[in-house]
């Protein structure tokens, strides 16, 4: 990690590189604001906003509008079928002054095709019959580009959310019974661990892989997306704002399923099972203050930040492979997102997250601590843009992983061009890259582009 005196004495080449990263971020931000000029065109109703007493009383809620027809509309699909195509591209570059001052750059792209088949798709749950509760889900994900920017820079964890082995993955094939107005959801099939577990919506605002989505739980053999395994998930609506989730996964076929469409998943054959339980609580302090749209001088504005949420979970697994012999492995995790009454922008959230594994002999990264701040509408006239600041620190197992820890500080700004296109410039400071083996820090910047059709 660089001290203040070391930072002031950086070589001119490093200073110029930092200046170029800042310029690239500024150009991305400026381009997004120019392209997003049309994002101030409002919708005339609140059909895509979650119903609430406040939203029903404010029919003219302003929100990003759809700019292009979706595949659902272009193909004129029937009401019992849903099709979504989501494209994410993440060009990034960076450098590590101590070991690779010249740095490197990489582009990685993800294309997700998600389909759902159910007679209840376009019906209110109050009128569902038994068949309407059931749905088939199929999801394919393709990764293209170079997922190895972190290896070039000497960091342990990928800098991009989409940095996975290239190729076509089967990322879901399941049968689901939705609760409707009842208390239980049931899902079974070939499932990833997330988004059903270890997923807090606040983490979706980040790009670095350690911050985005799964609290950097990286026990070998766990079916974290894009990996899948045969499994089942049960959700019980235990009361107002309270939900219990139970999951069980059989891991023996996980590697073969990943390689089924020609991908090299980068992990050996795995055996064992995984059991997990998670409690979600949404009735938290401050919830009422963010239940409806934002009141502003420009009128009612749809919220873009996640609702308050507490998640607490625990898991146990017997996952084993040739690299990590059979050993019981347990862990606990939790996240908390709360409204923050700050006089900045239109809306704010703060969040914290952690996971702790109990067996460092079978868990290469047993402890992860994180936290962050989300802000909506920081720039006047840009009510749907979201600023995200996040920090995460991962401790290494002394038995399995050389080094002590690696941390990341990320700042990004999601520019809402319209309801389907987002441009998200990002800068990252990776502290103690590679657990300290590469010295100093790494610096990276780039842009995430997301198009949903």
Three-state SS for the chain is CCCHHHHHCCCHHHHHHHHHHHHHHHHHHHHHHHHHHHHHCCCCCCCCCCCCHHHHHCCCCECCCCCCCCHHHHCCCCCCEEEEEEEEEEEEEEEECCCEEEEEEEEEEEEEEEEEECCCCCCCHHHCCHHHHEEEEEEEEEEEECCCHHHHHCCCCCCCCCCCCCEEEEEEEEEEECCCCCCEEEEEEEECCCCCCCCCHHHHHCCCCCCCCCCCCCCCCCCCCCCCEEEEEEEEEEECCEEEEEEEEECCCHHHHHHCCCCCCCCCCCECEEEEEEEEECCCCCCHHHCCCEEECCEEECCCCCCCEEEEEEEEECCECCCCCCCCEEEEEEEEEEECCCCCCCEEEEEEEEEEECCCCCCCCCEEEEEEEEEECCCCCCCCCEEEEEEEEEECCCCCCCCCEEEEEEEEEEEECCCCEEEEEEEEEEECHHHHCCCCEEEEEEEEEEEEC
Q: Reply yes or no: is the peptide bond before residue 226 cis, omega within 30 of 0.
A: yes
pLDDT of residue 157: 96
What average pLDDT does the segment 364-381 reach?
96
Mean pLDDT (the chain) is 87
Longest dimension (CA), the chain: 70
The beta-strand segments (E) located in 265-346 are 273-281, 294-296, 299-301, 309-317, 329-339
Q: Is residue 45 scored above 70 in pLDDT?
A: no
What average pLDDT does the segment 123-148 reach?
97
Q: Give the up-direction half-sphere exposure of residue 159: CA atoms within 13 A in the CB hemisphere.
A: 39
Give the C-alpha distances (Å, rounded to integers) separating 187 from 119, 175, 177, 282, 290: 17, 6, 6, 22, 31
Q: How sure is the predictor about 325, in pLDDT bands with cuts at 50, 70 and 90?
A: low
65 contact partners, CB below 8 Å, separation of at least 6: 41, 42, 43, 418, 419
Sole residue written with tokens 């500024």: 26
How far apart are the C-alpha atoms of 261 and 140, rounded to whole Å? 10
How far apart are the C-alpha atoms of 249 and 247, rounded to whole Å? 7
What average pLDDT does the segment 63-77 reach?
95
How far apart are the C-alpha atoms of 346 and 357, rounded to whole Å? 38
How far apart are the C-alpha atoms of 428 and 446, rounded to whole Å? 9
pLDDT of residue 59: 56
Q: How far apart are the first and last CA of the chain?
A: 42
Q: Is residue 40 scored above 70 in pLDDT?
A: no
DSSP character string of 103-124: EEEEEEEEEEEEEEE-TTTTS-
How far apart are the C-alpha atoms of 257 and 343, rounded to whole Å? 50
pLDDT of residue 320: 78
Q: How sure is the predictor about 18, in pLDDT bands with cuts at 50, 70 and 90?
A: very low
Determine the 3-state secondary structure of 159 from DSSP: coil
Number of neighbours of residue 44 by Cβ within 10 angstroms:
11
Q: Token digits for 300? A: 């009612």
Q: Tell me: the pLDDT tens digits for 270-318?
A: 889 999 999 999 999 999 999 999 998 889 999 999 999 999 999 999 8
Determine the 3-state secondary structure of 430 from DSSP: strand
Lowest average pLDDT, out of 17-26, 84-93, 115-124, 151-160, goes to 17-26
Q: Reply yes or no: is the peptide bond before residue 195 cis, omega within 30 of 0.
A: yes
What average pLDDT does the segment 127-145 reach?
97
How far apart are the C-alpha atoms of 157 and 430, rounded to whole Å? 10
pTM comes to 0.86
Determine the 3-state secondary structure of 172 from DSSP: strand
CB 281 within 8 A of CB 310: yes
pLDDT of residue 326: 56
* Domains of the chain by start residue, with CATH: 82-289+298-452 (2.40.160.180)
Decide the pairing of beta strands 329-339 and 294-296: unpaired
Q: Is residue 48 scored above 60 in pLDDT?
A: no
What average pLDDT does the segment 153-170 reach?
97
Identify the bridge partners of residue 134 per DSSP, sorted by sequence position.
Answer: 177
DSSP 326: S
Q: Is residue 43 scored above 90 in pLDDT?
A: no
């Amino acid at each position: 990690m660089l001290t203040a005196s070391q930072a002031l004495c950086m070589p001119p080449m490093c200073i110029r590189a930092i200046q170029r990263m800042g310029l690239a971020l500024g150009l991305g931000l400026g381009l997004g604001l120019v392209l997003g000029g049309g994002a101030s065109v409002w919708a005339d109703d609140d059909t895509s906003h979650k119903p609430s007493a406040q939203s029903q009383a404010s029919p003219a809620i302003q929100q990003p509008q759809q700019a292009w027809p979706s595949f659902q509309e272009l193909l004129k699909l029937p009401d019992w079928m849903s099709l979504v195509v989501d494209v994410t591209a993440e060009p990034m570059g960076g450098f590590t002054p101590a070991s690779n001052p010249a740095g490197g750059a990489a582009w990685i792209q993800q294309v997700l095709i998600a389909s759902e088949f159910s007679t209840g798709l376009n019906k209110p749950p109050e009128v569902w019959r038994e068949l309407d509760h059931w749905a088939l889900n199929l999801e394919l994900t393709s990764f293209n580009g170079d997922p190895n920017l972190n290896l070039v820079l000497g960091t342990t964890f990928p800098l991009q959310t989409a940095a996975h082995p290239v190729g076509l993955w089967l990322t879901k094939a399941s049968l689901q019974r939705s609760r409707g107005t009842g208390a239980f959801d049931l899902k079974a099939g070939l499932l990833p661990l997330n988004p059903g577990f270890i997923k807090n919506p606040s983490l979706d605002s980040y790009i670095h892989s350690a911050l985005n989505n799964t609290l950097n739980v990286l026990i070998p053999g766990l079916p974290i997306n894009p990996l899948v395994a045969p499994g089942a998930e049960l959700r019980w609506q235990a009361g107002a704002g309270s939900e219990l989730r139970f999951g069980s996964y059989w891991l023996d076929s996980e590697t073969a399923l990943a390689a089924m469409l020609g991908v090299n998943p980068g992990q050996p054959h795995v055996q064992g099972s995984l059991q997990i339980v998670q409690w979600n609580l949404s009735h938290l302090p401050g919830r009422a203050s963010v239940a409806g749209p934002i009141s502003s001088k420009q009128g009612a504005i749809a919220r873009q930040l996640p609702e308050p949420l507490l998640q607490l979970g625990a898991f146990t697994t017997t996952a084993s492979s040739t690299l990590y012999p059979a050993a019981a492995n347990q862990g606990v995790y939790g996240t908390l997102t709360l409204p923050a009454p700050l006089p900045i922008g239109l809306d704010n959230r703060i969040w914290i997250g952690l996971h702790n594994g109990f067996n460092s002999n079978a868990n290469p990264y047993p402890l992860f601590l994180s936290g962050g701040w989300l802000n909506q509408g920081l720039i006047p006239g840009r009510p749907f843009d979201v600023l995200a600041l996040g920090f995460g620190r991962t401790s290494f197992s002394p038995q399995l992983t050389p080094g002590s820890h690696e941390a990341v500080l990320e700042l990004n700004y999601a520019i809402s061009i319209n309801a389907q296109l987002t441009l998200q410039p990002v800068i990252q400071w990776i502290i103690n890259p590679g657990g300290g083996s590469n010295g100093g820090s790494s610096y990276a910047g780039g842009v995430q582009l997301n198009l949903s059709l």
